[in-house]
Amino acid sequence: MRKTERELNKVDAQSKDDRDCARAETDHPSAAMKSSAPRHLIHRQAGSALRFARRIRRRLHWAVAPEPVILCYHRVFSPERDPHLLSVSPERFRAQMEIVRRIARPVALDDPSRLSARGVVITFDDGYLDNLQNALPILRALEIPATLYIATGNVGAKREFWWDDLERLTLGAPNLPKILRLEINGRDFEWNLEGNEADDRSWNVLSPNERRPRQRLFCELHALLRPLPAAEQEAVLAQLRAITGTSPEARPLYRGLAESELKMLAAEPLITLGAHTVSHPDLALRSREEQHAEIAGSKAQLEHFIARPVEHFSYPYGSQNDDSMETCAELKLRTAVTCIAQAVERGASPFRLPRLLVRDWDGPEFARQLATVSRS
């Protein structure tokens, strides 16, 4: 188990005390009489030296020979709510990219065997409009390449991705009934929302506090909808829209990219476009035939939009199995990425590449996370 930052600071402080003790012992006249030094002091000095060496090794690891890391982003945007912590503000994204430029080697996602020490790859999932409007100018300014994975079923659509629509229809809707009844996949469900407190816009799914009624509703509906086909997800969202009187039209910056915007991105020398299925399903829950239709379909659609080959793929939710990997190989894709939080090890499968999901971290925390995953 890794030590917390507080524990590491405590060890550092203890090590400093030990070094001061050792220095005082060495300066004392009796230090020359090594054979007469108490055994516990010798053990303490040895332990202090070992801790010091380990600490120096940790700090130098990233600068000397870190393993390459693929970073996973979704949005560069400051939303009112971010229950799944998928957004990074433009200001913090710029700070993170400046750190990548300063301490690492930003590289494009290509043959994994060419990823070398200190290499960092930037990727984005889903294909949000803010990738073009907010992220691209920062990437351009710092000359950092990136790969954007596009869920092609949302290209040109005026609706939101289903999980965003769920957020506004549950956490954001002002007029949910006290008793909410929905039909989901042929079954009736009921939630008691009586006594619901005011909306807490800072809440997210990792919050340690007990969930309020709307927050429980959001989490339970998300778990129920994620395994369903897109048409059944939409049927549930349509019920919520009818109950709350909400328009199906996407909020500003919540929509996916349009075909013309994809072509703009495809013309950018720093940008590579990859496929991300058609309807963003959980592939591990689908048959081999369904997986092939989703992966091949998104690849073909994206190639049609941008008039060039598509060679890279991202598994929605990071979820995949052997059928997923074999399908990517059959379609002659070069890489496929997951959401496994670790560095890219030598010999890693090109169809199961790990990525670190980036949160809205400030610069120091981002640097710490980057160093941690590179040595994990």
d(CA 109, CA 17) in angstroms, rounded, equals: 46
3-state secondary structure of 160: strand
- Which fold is adopted by the domain 69-158+253-374? TIM Barrel (3.20.20)
Number of H helices, E strands in the chain: 12, 12
Would you state the pLDDT for residue 65? 57
Per residue in 20-47, pLDDT (tens digit) is 333 333 333 333 333 444 555 455 566 6
| pLDDT tops 70 at residue 7 | no
Specify the pTM: 0.82
Work out the mean pLDDT of the chain and round it to a whole number: 86
Supply 353's token pair: 């590449």
pLDDT, greater one: 18 or 134: 134
Share of the chain above pLDDT 70, in %: 81
Mean pLDDT of 347-357: 95
Q: How confident is the model at residue 174 (pLDDT cuts 50, 70, 90)?
A: confident
- Asked whether the CA dihedral 160, 161, 162, 164 is positive or negative, the reply is negative
Q: How confident is the model at residue 227 (pLDDT cuts 50, 70, 90)?
A: very high
Would you state the pLDDT for residue 364? 96
The H or E element spanning position 242 is: helix 230-244
Mean pLDDT of 1-22: 40
Residue ranges of the domains in the chain?
A: 5-64, 69-158+253-374, 163-244
Would you state the pLDDT for residue 346? 87
d(CA 163, CA 172) in angstroms, rounded, equals: 13
Per residue in 162-173, pLDDT (tens digit) is 999 999 999 999
DSSP category for residue 132: I
